[in-house]
Structure 1
Amino acid sequence: MRIMRPALALVLAGVLSATAACGDDGSGKQGDTTGAKLTMFAFSSSPAEDAVLRKAIDDYNKQGRNTVDLKVLPEYDTALTTALAGGQPPDVFYLNDNKLPDLGKSGALEPTGDQVDNPGDFYDTLKQSFTYQGTYYCAPKDFSTLQLVYNTADFEAAGLKPPTTWEELATTAKALTKPGHPGLVLAPEFYRWGAFFAQAGAWPTDDGVTKMTMDTQPMRDALQYLTDNHKAGSFGTPAAVGAGWGGEAFGKGLTSMTVEGNWIVGAMKNDFPNIKYGVAELPAGPKGKGTMSFSVCYGVAKASKSKAAAVDLVKFLTSPDEQLTITKEFPVMPSRKSLADKWLTDKPELKAFVAGGDYAKKSVFVPGFSTVIDTFNDGIQGLAKGNKSVDDVVSSTQKAGGSVLG
């Protein structure tokens, strides 16, 4: 899975001082675009993805402008945090969207988002995910959205079609439920339930993340809808059916539907190749369609001594041809809107994931907000288990957020 939520409490008390110690003039123009020796940090979900990235870097190196030393790291967050805090960061590095606010605040990033070719071609939600206090820091390399994944054999046997509304989802889940087999399994956490909040026109904060907005009727309606269906047994959690995540529950036949991102495609291919499934856009709620997006960008270190060359590398990796090549063999989607149709040419069954890019909510808040999400997740788990009330969750999350946002 590509959703990474690294702990950032330690991040970089020394980043600002380490950055300053490198003699950066703040111009972002240090160095030529050629002849540099760059270091790039990355992570990978599989050996196949690792190979594709290494080929992309090899192709760049063969152009003769600069030389890139690519390091694909298993303990990625620890390595990146250590390098940034130590004042010797990689020139270019993968950066998860939910980590952006902390690094933006710390001063560790050089703003390069608008320096790539045709920056307006990227999905607006993704650009917002990598913007902190009005500064667009880095170009997104790809993205994922949440949608409804369903077992086609189970649907055919029951004479069902993919649901398009909340009411239809509830009745469909009920029809597919049997002992030990809830019709829908989804993880009890904000990063899954949040799609339903968006569909209800609710969100934990206002758009500017300046105040909490938990105590609203749309939020209560969304929480109550999910709670009621869990109480009825039609919705379930992965743990309740003995699975680690929704994809495992789905692949093992412990449910007929799940809410997951396009990372599930690789898991199904590798672990459950015999399961036939379809992907549909999540059912619309009271305020229409809604989902969440998750992304990674190419960050450039403020302390890099070869920023111009680093930007040259990012331009190469985010170019239409290269981005299409990198994402062609994987379910992650190109972050350029213009590539959607080409990407779908040999994978039309994934159209719903791409469609979500037009209306997805970013899952990024502000530095320190992870503690609020932790409180919210604790409440969501209580709702799924039936030992907390909607009022409890609204109140506790509103209070936790108030202590962070002021």
Structure 2
Amino acid sequence: MRPLGKLAAVAALSVLAVSACGGGGTPAQSAGPKTLRMTVWTASEPHLTLLNEIAAEYKKTHPEVAEIKFESIPAETYTTTLTTQIAGGNPPDLAWILEGSAPDFVASGALAPIKAKLDNAADLIPSVTKLWEKDGELYAYPFSTSPFGMFVNTDLLEDAGQDDPADLVKSGEWTWEKAMAMSAAVAKKGKAGLVIPDFDDYKNWTNLSTIWGGWGASAWSADGKTCTFNSPEMVEAMTFFHKSVFTDKAVPGPGTTVDFTAGDAAMAVSQISRAGTLKEAGFGWDLVPLPKGPKGEYAVIGQAGVGVLKRSPNAELATDFLAFFTNQANSAKLAQFFPPPRQSLLTAETLAKSNPLLKQEQLQQVVIEGIGKGVVKPTHTGQEELLQTVRTALDPLWKPGADVKAVLDGVCAKIQPMLGA
């Protein structure tokens, strides 16, 4: 990362601590009906249509609200843009927050407490809300708790003479070794094998946890103080992935973008929110759990919360809207794209009502069982700087003949001082 970019990331995150103390002041409230602004990272038309429908319903009984705006910010610049808005004295009233940024936002005190305002807070699953809590208080509602699964193009696999992954799941033979061999077979036929949609630029390394989790590997220790990028488990997992990319050609290499939804790849690691893009797919597809690794079955969860900025000029009203946005009825609607943290809604039958493209068996295996046994993608305080530092340190790995152990030792050399041990 360029020095200026690194400084910008650090400076942006330091704003959160300042905001907790009221640094820069809170914008004055204007008289008359209020406009609420909520930052989101989605620009998906179906997502925004649903959000606006919920907002319109809220406004019917709240004449004090003139408008609720959903401001779409690209995911790759989301956190930096959000913290820059806070620093500039223009915080949104509400904001979606990526799981990686949760430790910084919660620890800083930049978010308003919301637990007392939520509809049926006792229905929230404790293990799911843990990332968003501090001292018994909840600072963001984890509206999306979505395990990763494997979408498969059954037509491409059949054309390449490969087994049906659903059958392998039933027989207990659905493993990473098998999945990569099948992907390589498809690649030899002219299509791509396995793609990780949010890792096609070889930058968003946290999504590789969907693979290394099968080896029991992790980026750092459970207490966050020790780098474990060079542990034996991680070295084995990343060696396997490197071989899959550069030797077996089972995974497209750096600089190659492949669209699974266009029928150009055999498999894609993703979440159920992507199922909607397959509504009119011209090929047969299925959704199965992530393959087993050497350490057995596992699951990885991507999570997102929505919180109220403490420095919002309309914090009280924004908290009231958040309570409405996340109540039982609206949580059921949001479940079409974002698996909810509510125990009462996490049944295959309930999720199937809002996810008509997916079968109850798929939702049970991938979502419900995944939430039960899954771990959240890597998170840590100072996440923005860590993300950039690890990404740069991993760059030498993405070429043929790389020394995997040496590169991973280099990652730990760079980030261990940042982990606070």
Return the TM-score normalized by structure 2.
0.79
Query: In structure 2, how many angstroms separate the alpha carbons of the residues matched to 1:215 and 1:379?
Result: 12
1:10 corresponds to: 11
Query: In structure 2, how many angstroms separate the alpha carbons of the residues matched to 1:227 and 1:141?
Result: 34
Amino acid at match of 1:121: D
SS at match of 1:251: helix
2:344 corresponds to: 338
For residues 160-203 of structure 1, what are the alpha-carbon distances to aligned partners after superposition, in whole Å with 9 as ceiling and x for unaligned?
12151223223323433315434323334423321122221110
1:151 CA drift (Å): 0.6
1:289 CA drift (Å): 2.4
Are the structure 2 counterparts of residues 221 and 132 from structure 1 closer, same or farther at C-alpha, using a change threshold of 3 Å? farther
1:367 corresponds to: 381
SS at match of 1:223: helix
Amino acid at match of 1:339: L
1:363 CA drift (Å): 2.3
Residue segments in structure 1 that go unaligned for 5+ positions in a row: 1-6, 25-34
* Percentage identity across paired residues of the two chains: 23
Q: CA RMSD of the aligned region, Å?
A: 3.2
Query: In structure 1, how many angstroms separate the alpha carbons of the residues matched to 2:17 and 2:162?
Result: 60
1:397 partnered with 2:398:
no
1:137 corresponds to: 139
2:171 corresponds to: none
Are the structure 2 counterparts of residues 94 and 183 from structure 1 closer, same or farther at C-alpha, using a change threshold of 3 Å? closer
Residue segments in structure 2 that go unaligned for 5+ positions in a row: 1-7, 27-31, 169-173
Structural mapping, 1:1-400, within 5 Å:
8-11=9-12, 13-14=14-15, 16-17=17-18, 19-20=21-22, 37=34, 39-43=36-40, 44-64=42-62, 67=65, 69-75=67-73, 77=78, 80-113=82-115, 115-124=117-126, 126-131=128-133, 136-157=138-159, 158-162=161-165, 163=168, 164-178=174-188, 180-186=190-196, 187=199, 188=202, 189-237=204-252, 239=254, 242-243=256-257, 248=259, 250-269=260-279, 273-304=281-312, 306-328=314-336, 331-340=337-346, 341=348, 342-345=350-353, 346-349=356-359, 350-351=362-363, 352-355=365-368, 356-378=370-392, 382-400=396-414
Query: In structure 2, how many angstroms separate the alpha carbons of the residues matched to 1:79 and 1:398?
Result: 28
Query: In structure 2, how many angstroms separate the alpha carbons of the residues matched to 1:239 and 1:252?
Result: 20
Contact 2:195-2:252 within 8 A present in 1 as well: yes
Are the structure 2 counterparts of residues 403 and 150 from structure 1 closer, same or farther at C-alpha, using a change threshold of 3 Å? same
Query: In structure 2, how many angstroms separate the alpha carbons of the residues matched to 1:160 and 1:107?
Result: 51
Are the structure 2 counterparts of residues 108 and 339 from structure 1 closer, same or farther at C-alpha, using a change threshold of 3 Å? same
Are the structure 2 counterparts of residues 206 and 13 from structure 1 closer, same or farther at C-alpha, using a change threshold of 3 Å? closer
Contact 2:39-2:72 within 8 A present in 1 as well: no
1:65 CA drift (Å): 7.5
1:402 CA drift (Å): 0.6
Contact 2:101-2:383 within 8 A present in 1 as well: no
Query: In structure 1, how many angstroms separate the alpha carbons of the residues matched to 2:145 and 2:319?
Result: 20
Larger CA deviation: 182-191 vs 395-404? 182-191
1:395 CA drift (Å): 0.4
Count residues in correspondence: 382
Amino acid at match of 2:94: V
Query: In structure 2, how many angstroms separate the alpha carbons of the residues matched to 1:21 and 1:230?
Result: 48
Query: In structure 2, how many angstroms separate the alpha carbons of the residues matched to 1:381 and 1:235?
Result: 20
Query: In structure 2, how many angstroms separate the alpha carbons of the residues matched to 1:400 and 1:179?
Result: 41
For residues 22-49 of structure 1, what are the alpha-carbon distances to aligned partners after superposition, in whole Å with 9 as ceiling and x for unaligned?
889xxxxxxxxxx984623133332332
Are the structure 2 counterparts of residues 178 and 22 from structure 1 closer, same or farther at C-alpha, using a change threshold of 3 Å? closer
Amino acid at match of 1:396: G
Larger CA deviation: 36-45 vs 384-393? 36-45
Are the structure 2 counterparts of residues 108 and 284 from structure 1 closer, same or farther at C-alpha, using a change threshold of 3 Å? same
SS at match of 2:229: coil
Contact 1:140-1:297 within 8 A present in 2 as well: yes
SS at match of 2:148: strand
